[in-house]
Structure 1
Amino acid sequence: MEPEYAIYKGEELIAMGTAEECAAKLGVTKEYIYWLTMPTAKRRLAKRKNPERCTVGFRLDDE
């Protein structure tokens, strides 16, 4: 069973499903979806000027 992901832009849910499904909906690679869930990505996005408007990802089975 493949893990599922939830991708948000700010507080708006923009994609939910497997990495491949989310990538297809957003027009990016599945590696980018994986990257969005990594601690490094979250630290970088938190340092941005408007972090509340960033695209972030969460792996649903981690919670």
Structure 2
Amino acid sequence: MKEYAVYKGDEFLCLGTAIECADKLGVKADTIVYYTSPAYQRKLAKRNAVNPIIVIKLEDE
């Protein structure tokens, strides 16, 4: 299973599967996956958001 690391700005929020992270943040698992997409990255770049939620997909070893 893929794991994700979730940050808000520089603050670490959680680590786990999309479902685990979604439960912790109170969002859908699809939202966690969306946060890793190029579309979300473009949206952040346009907005110049302060302390945005950043999700990093961790590679399987």
Task: Quote the residue 2:44 is aligned against.
Answer: 45
How do 1:1-63 and structure 2 match up within 5 A?
2-49=1-48, 51-61=49-59
Q: Which residue type is aligned with residue 11 of structure 1?
A: D
Q: CA deviation at 1:43?
A: 1.1
Amino acid aligned to 1:13: F
Aligned residues: 60
Q: TM-score, normalised by structure 2?
A: 0.88
Q: Give RMSD over aligned pairs.
A: 1.4
Percent sequence identity over matched residues? 45
- Structure with bigger strand share is 2
Work out the CA distance in 2 between the residues paired with 1:38 and 1:29: 15
In terms of fraction of residues, the more helix-rich structure is 1
Q: Gaps spanning 5+ residues in structure 2: where?
A: none
TM-score (norm 1): 0.86
Q: Distance in 1 between matches of 2:20 and 2:47?
A: 27
Deviation string 1:21-48 (CA, Å, 9 cap, x unpaired) is 0000000000000000001101101221
